[in-house]
Structure 1
Amino acid sequence: MDTSALSRWASLTPWELVTRASEIVREVLVTLGDEYEIRGDIALHKTVIVEEGAVLKGPLIIGPHCFVASGAYLRGGCWVGERCIFGPGAELKTSFVFDGTKLAHFNFVGDSVLGAGVNLEAGSIVCNYRNERDDKEVRVRVDGRLRATGCDKFGALIGDRSRVGANAVLAPGTLLAKASIIRRGEVFDAEVVKT
């Protein structure tokens, strides 16, 4: 899929991008060509396979050669590149997912940006909300310091070719560099400094 369609928003931070996801996806949707089947605010490339029992809610764009399994749930302002896989029980909310990324099964990814070639093993979760505290603002760690995002929902920016192991949990505000590896069962919270 032509990622240049998103280039006019390249100056936004990842949390600004997902905050505006529904608006951005709607703007891109009206520029798509005949290779997409468009119904309301959902656009599927003609090569996409969506199994019976999957739930799709717009605004949503799914690019060429993607697969969405029965029981998958994609909703609320999502842009998906080429050759992505959403297995049974995978949920994607208000996110941008680049080419070749896989949510194996029983995943939740909310308000996030996933680079190309990212793999989330079964049961891995990208949390997007700080339910455990009164101050809901998500903070990110940049150059060793916490930075306010100004929003109460932001999951993660996951760099290209990163791997997130089965049953791992990424806390809100996670920033992973390219080719990062999160081990199976790990809880990764950038707000917590390990000593």
Structure 2
Amino acid sequence: MTQDIVILAAGKGSRMKSAFSKVLHKIGGIPMVRRVLTTASALSDSKLHLIVGHQGEQVETSCQDFSANIVWQNDPQGTGDALKRVAPFLQTDGATLTLYGDVPLIRASTLEKMTALSTPNTLVLLTIRLTNPTGYGRIVRNEQGKVMAIVEQKDATDRQLAINEVNTGILLAPNSHLQTWLAALTNNNAQGEYYLTDVIAMAAQAGVDIVTVNPENEAEVAGVNDRVQLAALERELQHQQAIALMQNGATLLDPARIDVRGTLTTGNDVIIDVNCVFEGNVVLGSGVEIGPNCFLKNCVIGDNTVIKSNSMIDDSQVAEACDIGPFARLRPGTQLANKAKIGNFVETKKALIGEGSKVNHLSYIGDTEMGANVNVGAGTITCNYDGVNKFKTQIGDNVFVGSNTSLVAPVQVAEGATIAAGSTITKSVSENQLAFARARQTNKDNWPRPSKK
């Protein structure tokens, strides 16, 4: 069946104590509502509707690439009211699946189980049994075990409060019936709101089959109302991702101390030490080793590369068998060829480092094209910025750059050239030349040291 998917994201979330909409707070580096939209988008034959209200412009902007139909709910009066607002946009046939922008860990596989049971005369309800059901609507069944209604906590009798099967809020209802049920909703209850859950009793009275599906775990249907719950779901997501990485052949020296805030893809025999953070889209080839306290963002790391502790790699491409760190920083636009080495306290930016080239210590290489087998001594910098514009440094194959060299761009150093330590290079150097540019040293005998007056 074709289906409408409605994501409720209009609430203020006052318990978050935030200037931002609750659904824009992030789980695993991604806004909660975007996680829900991504999961919903995986379902076939579906049309997305996003209900917004508090700071709706920011929510809409954050989610505009999903091409969802935006429906405003500026004065929310419950979940039933939200569905009333979207009712004019629902397809005549098919069914409507209701999801929540603050329930970020719902699985596509669970929703697929629900859609597989959907028919024009079937309502599918996602329920779960909890040891402590406090705060949830209770699932009321008859003696034959058929679902008859959902009773909210504030409206439940003592007997109903003893029920531990609860409503998750996620349901899939046939549109042919749903429009009628929504029109019949009232707000005659303890909270003065329109409850979407009231359609369950209407479905039972109409003879519609009500079937239930259960999620894999409680975290999958847990909502976020405050930062404590946000942190709990963050840990749950990181735990799930750590398990998936290990099942895919990666070794995590401590699975509890890794954060994936985006997508991390690993080859075989990857080793990741503690306190590493991966942001955006990161790809690690087979045999990659990453030391503790590293940060990698939007980068591709080739096979058998070693990244030593406390290194940062951002929007860069690293080829095979490279050696990076410790305390190295690869800024956006860096590309390392096979077997390149970037040592401790070295920073690169928009730098192409050739095969087998080495920048070992305390150097800055920016806006640079470097050939193969170049050796750059400690304390070398490319002076690429004049305060207004950036300029390029070009270094050929097999160049040796002595320590404490300043290469003032734009400048070219041709293949096989040697730069003497302590030089400031402002002119191009030809092949196999030796270049040195130092002030003449003067030594004075019997020079009196200054004394304190």
TM-score calculated relative to the size of structure 1 = 0.66
Pairing 1:57–2:279 present: no
Q: Deviation string for 1:28-73 (max 9, x for gaps)? A: xxxxxx7962786300012110012001111x11011100011111
Name whichever structure is richer in helix by fraction: 2
| Residue aligning to 2:400 | 163
8 Å contact 1:129–1:155 — kept in the other structure? no
Pairing 1:109–2:365 present: yes
| Cα RMSD for the two superposed structures | 2.0
**Rounded Cα–Cα distance in structure 2 between residues aligned with 1:169 and 1:85:** 20
| Residue aligning to 2:390 | 153
8 Å contact 2:357–2:373 — kept in the other structure? yes
8 Å contact 1:110–1:154 — kept in the other structure? no
Deviation at 1:174, TM superposition (A): 1.1
| Residue segments in structure 2 that go unaligned for 5+ positions in a row | 1-266, 269-282, 286-295, 429-436, 438-453
| Residue aligning to 2:299 | 42
**Rounded Cα–Cα distance in structure 1 between residues aligned with 2:312 and 2:384:** 20
Choose between structure 1 and 2 for higher RCO, CA contacts under 8 A separated by at least 6 residues: 1
Q: How does 1:17-166 map to 2 (within 5 A)?
A: 37=284, 41-58=298-315, 60-131=316-387, 136=388, 152-166=389-403
Q: Percent identity?
A: 25
| Residue segments in structure 1 that go unaligned for 5+ positions in a row | 1-33, 137-151
TM-score calculated relative to the size of structure 2 = 0.29
Q: Which amino acid aligns with 2:284?
A: E
8 Å contact 2:297–2:314 — kept in the other structure? no
Aligned positions, number: 139
Q: Which amino acid aligns with 1:153?
A: K
Pairing 1:173–2:420 present: no
Deviation at 1:184, TM superposition (A): 0.2
Q: Which runs of 4+ in 1 moved over 3 A?
A: none
Q: Deviation string for 1:111-163 (max 9, x for gaps)? A: 110000111011111111123xxxx4xxxxxxxxxxxxxxx212310000001
Deviation at 1:98, TM superposition (A): 1.0
Quick one: which of 424, 427, 438 aligns to 1:190?
A: 427
Q: Which amino acid aligns with 1:100?
A: G
| Residue aligning to 1:29 | none
**Rounded Cα–Cα distance in structure 1 between residues aligned with 2:383 and 2:366:** 6
